[in-house]
Structure 1
Amino acid sequence: MKLPQSVRALSPLSPPAPLPSLCSCLPSYNVLQSHGFPSPVDYDGFYDSASTPVSSQKPRKPLIAISKQNRDLHPIPRENPDLLDWMLKRCVNSKDLVGGTIVHAACIKTGCTNVFFCNSLISMYAKCGGLQSAHRMFDGIPERNVVSWNTVISAYVEAGQAAESIELFNRMQQDDGLVPDQFTFGNILRGCTSFRNLDIGMQTHGMAIKSGVESNVFIASTLVDMYFKCQSIEDSWRVFCQTPIKNAVTWTSMITGFIQHGHKECALALFREMLDAGVEPVKFTFSTLVKVFDEPVMLKQARQAHGCMVKLGIEIDVLLWSDMITMYRKCESMEDVVKLSSRLRNKDLISWTALLVAYSQNGYRKDSLDIFREMIEDSTSIDRFALAAAIGACTGSEATELGRQLHAYAMRTGQMSDVSVGNAMITLYSKSGQICKAENLFFQMPCQDIISWTSLLTCYAQNGHGEEALLLFRDMLRKGLKPAMFCISSAVKACSSIASYSLGKQLHLSAVKSGFITEISVGNALVTMYAKCGSIYDAWRAFSYMPYKDIISWNAIIAGFSQHGFANEVLDLFHEMQQVGLPPDDFTFLSILVACSHSGLLAEGLSCFELMRDTYELEAKMEHYASMVDMFGRAGKLGHAMKFIKTMPYEPDLSVWEALLSSCKFHKNVELGKFAAEKMIYLKPEDPSAYVLLSSIHAELGMWDHKARLLRMMKDRGVKKEPSRSWVEDKGKIHVFSVEDKSHPQTHELYMKLEELKMKMIEAGYTPDINCVLHDIEQEQREYSVFHHSEKLAVAFALINIPEGSPIRIMKNLRVCRDCHTAMKLISHIENRQIILRDANRFHHFVDGACSCHDYW
């Protein structure tokens, strides 16, 4: 079934018409007709099928409600039957089955056993939970009328026993020969609605047509509701169009159907038609309508709907108030939320929770927690939704302490076993980096849903535990759980962190099969994953196939090309992004500055930095200043770099001085390097970067005494250099290597392959760059060490195990040295293989003896 498209006249991008003057907005039915819903005159008839007969039920024994101990009750005068009716209503209101039984006994004792009281007793038993007693009472009535049948049918419908209600409906016509009225059909249709039984509903509709009650406004409203809840919105529209007289309930039912089926513009069009027809909306109409306004671009229309309520004098009770708070929250208008919150004095749990969520999800987390405290002080009973919202409001440095308190509160109130509260706590611990607590909480939960698995998976992925995330994803699939959209995107991010190209491709295929490939978050994750796994071509394809792109999409592809050193492509993408009308943010400019820095485009980088501050009025962060210092330093303009640092609006941090020190190492400027290193050591004495970079400068210049003093200083302060590691993926398994590593099962083959490569490289003019070895040892030992760096062992493994023609992807935790960079260029030419190496700074693409960085990294 093809459903109607959005109504263009009511598109969020078009100026909304004022709701109070709705008749001027749309002609009668024209908009709905233009979007697939025919006019009423297109229908000459509807279903005329009769209901299928059901086997009759055996009559049951009448209920004996009076016992020996009840015979001495105070007699109720026979001439006062209104008192009996009043007592029955009291029993119904208080759900007092025992009291109702006593009244039943009094009815028998006083002789009030006419059909009216019998019907009231059936209703009392049904509403007080005595369905079987109600049926026995019904079977014991000597003369039943239509009301008797309607009462017992309604009782079975309310109890959720649709089959029994249908059977009674058939017996009503067969046994007593009674003609069903509008209430009979209404009860049966309500049962079909509850159980989503479209077939029986259509048969009942046909019988209603034959009985001549289909035009009744009550039946019409029930049919409209039944059809749209049974996923037949077009049949619902047909009934609506054929109904000659429509009241507010009929209109509201159809509007609700449109909204629940995602046709928000059609719902707005019908609401305007409703006012144009002179039908005044009721409170429930607006409770349904406010769900349409769920995004910021619809704020103006939301305010118009609010104004329409005021003009029509609609009383805004607690439930409607909560719906409006939710409406303004989704429209991101905290101004209207604050105004509304000041007008409701007596808040219940639902209104408190709506207010709490509104503040939390719009960034006012402190105010949200204050509301939670007010709820406790107001002695409001905190349910799982309010508690989960309060937990979600905890973030930042205060998350640990507040999370601990809320965790304790949840345990004290017995709500920790609720899955929504557990999921919120896992997310909270994930945000604060407490992975073990999140993990323990997950496995202690009595039951987990798909959100629980996704929360822990996201926790692993966001905190750099990619392998654990993928293992959890595998376990989830083995349990037969169908991954949600965010679950797949988190798993793709985990592949990014461990640079697992093959697993990332499998997840890409999974996203295609599950239908999530068009989701923007999945697309963004795939672009980032392919870029970080060294396949910028696949990243570009994933970006190109995305049906919708937001700022994150553009930033992901720009950052990908930047990391791979394609500065010209980065600038082209930046200009294209401007042409489509999407304003860049600070992350966009950071990727551009990094690309310009790595490619030596100093003029372009300076121009972009000025564009960011002057044209887009974005405040430069420390990362931008560090990129500019790196850009000046790589270009050899160390004096300009120092001047730039002195003009910074705030004190430079570790990243700025590290950028300057790296440039000093590249240009062998010892004095300025010492100054930058001293600044780094002062800011973070436990960070080994300053010691290592300065040691490297001294080693390359042969200043071994100075290097030895630095090494002693590192030892005395307990500072340890991170060991160099490289890893390569083969057949879904990650193989990790360190310098002079001999722990791999193929060690002998690897060292033989390296010797073979060494001979070929020497023939091609290769000379080991022993300056890369920072230890004062013999030249032969230095040559042996430099030729067994981790990335060379990784490339030897790849040449042995990865088939010819496939690119070799190697990841390294530190910056690649000059000797390894030279070796990779020669190996790519000798072996005719493409080698993609990612170091701590960027990607290097080695093809036929050349590198994409042009030896500038």
Structure 2
Amino acid sequence: MAKMISWARPHIRRLSPSTSSRMTVIQYNTRLRELIKTGYLGDARSLFDSMPRRDEISWTTLISGYVGAMDISEAFALFSVMRVQPALRVDHFVLSLLLKACTLVMNPNLGESVHGYAIKTGEANSLYVGSALLDMYTKAGRIELGYRIFDEMPLKNVISWTALINGLISCGHCREAVSCFAEMCKSEVQCNGHTFAIILKACADLDALSCGREIHTQIIKKGFDASSFVANSLATMYNKCRKFDNAVHLLERMATQDVVSWTTIITTYIQMGMEESAFEAFLRMKRSDATPDEYTYGAVISACASLSRTKCGEQLHAQVLCKGLSNSLPVANSIISMYSKLGQLSSALTIFHEITKRDIVSWNTIVTGYSQEGCGEEAFELLSWIRIEGLTPTESTLAVVLTVCSNMAILKQGMQLHALVLSLGLEQAPTIQSALINMYAKCGSIKEAYKIFDAATKYDIVVWTTMINGYAEHGYSHEAIDLFEKLASVGLRPDPVTYIGILTACSHAGLIDLGFNYFDSMSREQRINPSREHYGCMIDLLCRAGRLDEAEHMIKRMPYEHNDVVWSTLLRACNINGDVDRGRRIAEHILELDPNCAGTHIALATVYSAKERWTDAEEMRKMMKSKGVTKEPGWSWIMVKDCVSTFAAESAVEKD
């Protein structure tokens, strides 16, 4: 193809005087289109300038080429010359092209001059110009003017209706868009696939599943379900409404899957927590005719990170390099995230520095990587660099750094971040509110945490859950229970994390019966299957109450593989209650799972010491020494003059 173009290009450019004199305007216009279509806009302009005569099609073709290349200044320069040519008429097609250009560069002021010209020439009522004006003004947020233009249009077709609906959605007026779609359905105008795809986006943004399903029914009745474009939009709607099974079923049964379909299947599986299935879908895609793009690779690299498949991730990284996609931001950001999650922070940092144009997502990803590795100081330093680079921290950035403050219990830095949140006007964002509540609670300022919660204007289950967990962890069990009981009155349903908080509250308060009531209602009323963490809360509740037989029985009937965490909870309870025989039996079981578990060796030695079985305690410590098992030293941190320093137990040496 490249050879054909390189052969054709000089043939088009080098026209002999005899050839050019015999060419008609139609032939010139054909060559002009060929040059623009193959990407030789400069040559097209040279040919245009050499034409002995030009008609409306010549001018329109070159203006269209400049608009397509986003060279708006040249497009308008040509328009300025064209409009004063006595034998030429600027028609509705040229005006709609220029209005499209103004929409692309978000310059409605420039578009107003075109609008004025259209009114002057009588083209403003043209269907094409009217639809282009409608699209431009609504996308610029000038909704009232958009409505006025729409109402004044003498004829409305599917293009004008779709332009109005699309403009409303672009400005975040999704409810108005749905109402407009309903009016369109009542009119005689028939929806096309593009209309359906756009209105499904509004349903997705509104989380309006019932509305989306009604539109799905219309799509099937009108036969648009066979369109991959519409099917992909349907799947996206079901995804955003958390009906992942519907999305996968829809996509998997498509006759032909394009790259968007495959990418949506992969991302849907990831959202369902089925990373293995996502990876299998990627392998099936590679065997099909579809070619993975940057978004596909970004998704499947994320799946590798979740599955901790280092080798697989590195292979995908190599594929990306071979395909020349390494500079794509979605891909680069996914690779940074993958290496961070796999504990290879140096590799993540290398990729980060190789990106020529980093966006805020790149910065958020590397900040998250540092925070996950416990590098709090570096995370704070990166936040400073974000601002030096002229970027504005997003909700995600601030939420991550606030989590660092929570984990390190550094209130002063947390308060400074709170001030930054206020200056950016992000205090009502649920993500930020949750992070602030968590930070103040973890730093011991439970009253400040409640102030943030009380100031929230929107009811959000994550915010309520964070406050319930904050109360539970600080021993305010009754306050946590009161908040939990109010959930239904504000229209919220508890999620699995909410139940972890309320079960923790019951455990700390010794409310066994209430804890079991909540545990049972979780599956009975909310249809939430208890996870390993929920069972862990119940076992902790029984252990704190000294009901060790019941705790051991619950561990044995858990529908999950028994790990050392739940057994360790019971072992600590044996230590507190002086149950040596049970403690020894459980310790032996834990050591089968993890022979080098220092905590288990120490806990059993402590059990023996409590019962004055000094010989057994000494034997346990000798066993630790012979195995080379050592206890990880505890670390503490202090802040002196805004500098956080960390210290190991029994050491005055700062940690590197």
Q: Name the TM-score class by shorter chain.
A: 0.7 to 0.9
Distance 1:198 1:326 in 2: 31
Q: CA deviation at 1:594?
A: 3.3
1:728 alignment partner, SS class: strand
Residue among 392, 406, 413 paired with 1:503: 413
Distance 2:486 2:451 in 1: 16
Q: CA deviation at 1:102?
A: 6.7
Assess, with a 3 A threshold, how the Cα gap between structure 1 residues 571 and 100 changes in structure 2: closer, same or farther. same
Assess, with a 3 A threshold, how the Cα gap between structure 1 residues 692 and 189 changes in structure 2: closer, same or farther. closer
1:272 aligns with 2:165: no
Q: CA deviation at 1:652?
A: 5.7
1:541 aligns with 2:451: yes
Q: CA deviation at 1:735?
A: 4.7
Tell me whether 121-130 or 456-465 shows the greater mean CA deviation.
Answer: 121-130
Give the AA of the match of 2:291: S
Which residue does the alignment assign to 1:383? 293
Distance 2:434 2:312 in 1: 33
Assess, with a 3 A threshold, how the Cα gap between structure 1 residues 315 and 594 changes in structure 2: closer, same or farther. closer
1:490 aligns with 2:385: no
Distance 1:169 1:620 in 2: 67
Which residue does the alignment assign to 1:292? 202
Q: Deviations over 1:197-217 (max 9, x none)?
A: 323322232232222222222
Q: CA deviation at 1:177?
A: 6.9
Q: Deviations over 1:150-193 (max 9, x none)?
A: 45554554454444444444444545375544344334434433
Q: CA deviation at 1:617?
A: 6.1
Aligned residues: 651
Equivalences for residues 417-456 of structure 1 within 5 A: 417-456=327-366
Assess, with a 3 A threshold, how the Cα gap between structure 1 residues 321 and 501 changes in structure 2: closer, same or farther. same
Assess, with a 3 A threshold, how the Cα gap between structure 1 residues 611 and 245 changes in structure 2: closer, same or farther. closer
Assess, with a 3 A threshold, how the Cα gap between structure 1 residues 537 and 125 changes in structure 2: closer, same or farther. same
1:227 aligns with 2:144: no
Assess, with a 3 A threshold, how the Cα gap between structure 1 residues 742 and 163 changes in structure 2: closer, same or farther. closer
Distance 1:154 1:171 in 2: 15
Q: CA deviation at 1:578?
A: 4.2
Q: Which structure has the larger Rg?
A: 1
Tell me whether 263-272 or 574-583 shows the greater mean CA deviation.
Answer: 574-583
Q: CA deviation at 1:421?
A: 1.5
Check conservation: 1:296, 1:330, Cα contact below 8 A: no
2:638 alignment partner, SS class: strand
Q: CA deviation at 1:242?
A: 0.8
Which residue does the alignment assign to 2:219? 309
Structure having greater relative contact order (Cα 8 Å, sep ≥ 6): 1
1:217 aligns with 2:160: no
Distance 1:278 1:720 in 2: 79
Assess, with a 3 A threshold, how the Cα gap between structure 1 residues 699 and 373 changes in structure 2: closer, same or farther. closer
Assess, with a 3 A threshold, how the Cα gap between structure 1 residues 615 and 351 changes in structure 2: closer, same or farther. closer
Distance 1:173 1:739 in 2: 82
Q: CA deviation at 1:287?
A: 3.4
Distance 2:592 2:44 in 1: 85
1:592 aligns with 2:502: yes
Q: CA deviation at 1:601?
A: 4.0
Distance 1:583 1:315 in 2: 34
Distance 1:541 1:282 in 2: 50
1:393 alignment partner, SS class: helix
1:734 alignment partner, SS class: strand
- The percent of aligned pairs where both chains have the same amino acid is 33
2:204 alignment partner, SS class: coil
Distance 2:154 2:627 in 1: 89
Distance 1:425 1:607 in 2: 45
Residue among 405, 411, 425 paired with 2:315: 405
Q: Deviations over 1:82-106 (max 9, x none)?
A: xxxxxxxxxx999944444577867
Q: CA deviation at 1:458?
A: 1.6
Equivalences for residues 14-163 of structure 1 within 5 A: 96-101=8-13, 108=20, 111-113=22-24, 146=56, 149-151=59-61, 153-163=63-73
2:639 alignment partner, SS class: strand
CA RMSD, 1 decimal: 3.7
1:654 aligns with 2:564: yes
Distance 2:393 2:513 in 1: 48
Distance 2:36 2:208 in 1: 46
Q: Deviations over 1:344-365 (max 9, x none)?
A: 4444434433443344334443
Residue among 471, 495, 499 paired with 2:381: 471
Q: Deviations over 1:266-300 (max 9, x none)?
A: 22222232233312233332333332231695333
1:263 aligns with 2:134: no
Which residue does the alignment assign to 1:576? 486
Distance 1:561 1:702 in 2: 38
Give the AA of the match of 1:715: K
Give the AA of the match of 2:285: M
Distance 1:346 1:651 in 2: 41
1:448 alignment partner, SS class: coil
Check conservation: 2:238, 2:246, Cα contact below 8 A: yes
Check conservation: 1:561, 1:569, Cα contact below 8 A: yes
Q: CA deviation at 1:264?
A: 1.9
Q: Unmatched 5+ residue regions in structure 1?
A: 1-91, 745-857
Distance 2:353 2:396 in 1: 20
1:330 aligns with 2:219: no
Q: Unmatched 5+ residue regions in structure 2?
A: none
Distance 1:373 1:651 in 2: 30
Distance 1:352 1:294 in 2: 19
Which residue does the alignment assign to 1:689? 599
Give the AA of the match of 1:223: L
Distance 2:7 2:394 in 1: 43
Check conservation: 2:13, 2:43, Cα contact below 8 A: no
1:294 alignment partner, SS class: helix
Assess, with a 3 A threshold, how the Cα gap between structure 1 residues 104 and 488 changes in structure 2: closer, same or farther. farther
Which residue does the alignment assign to 1:200? 110
Distance 1:161 1:619 in 2: 57
1:201 alignment partner, SS class: helix
Q: CA deviation at 1:528?
A: 1.4
1:245 aligns with 2:155: yes
Which residue does the alignment assign to 1:23? none
2:295 alignment partner, SS class: helix
Check conservation: 2:275, 2:307, Cα contact below 8 A: no
Assess, with a 3 A threshold, how the Cα gap between structure 1 residues 329 and 296 changes in structure 2: closer, same or farther. farther
Tell me whether 250-259 or 284-293 shows the greater mean CA deviation.
Answer: 284-293
Q: Deviations over 1:446-481 (max 9, x none)?
A: 553321221122223234443333333333333333
Assess, with a 3 A threshold, how the Cα gap between structure 1 residues 537 and 280 changes in structure 2: closer, same or farther. same
Give the AA of the match of 2:240: K
Assess, with a 3 A threshold, how the Cα gap between structure 1 residues 338 and 296 changes in structure 2: closer, same or farther. farther
Assess, with a 3 A threshold, how the Cα gap between structure 1 residues 296 and 360 changes in structure 2: closer, same or farther. farther
Check conservation: 1:613, 1:619, Cα contact below 8 A: yes
Distance 2:100 2:551 in 1: 77
Check conservation: 2:251, 2:257, Cα contact below 8 A: no
Distance 2:140 2:205 in 1: 28
Distance 1:689 1:296 in 2: 49
Residue among 275, 281, 299 paired with 1:365: 275
Query: Counting helix residues as a fraction of each chain, which structure ranks higher?
Result: 2
Tell me whether 684-693 or 156-165 shows the greater mean CA deviation.
Answer: 156-165
Assess, with a 3 A threshold, how the Cα gap between structure 1 residues 705 and 351 changes in structure 2: closer, same or farther. closer
Assess, with a 3 A threshold, how the Cα gap between structure 1 residues 492 and 239 changes in structure 2: closer, same or farther. same
Residue among 540, 543, 559 paired with 2:469: 559
Q: CA deviation at 1:489?
A: 0.9
Distance 1:624 1:541 in 2: 29
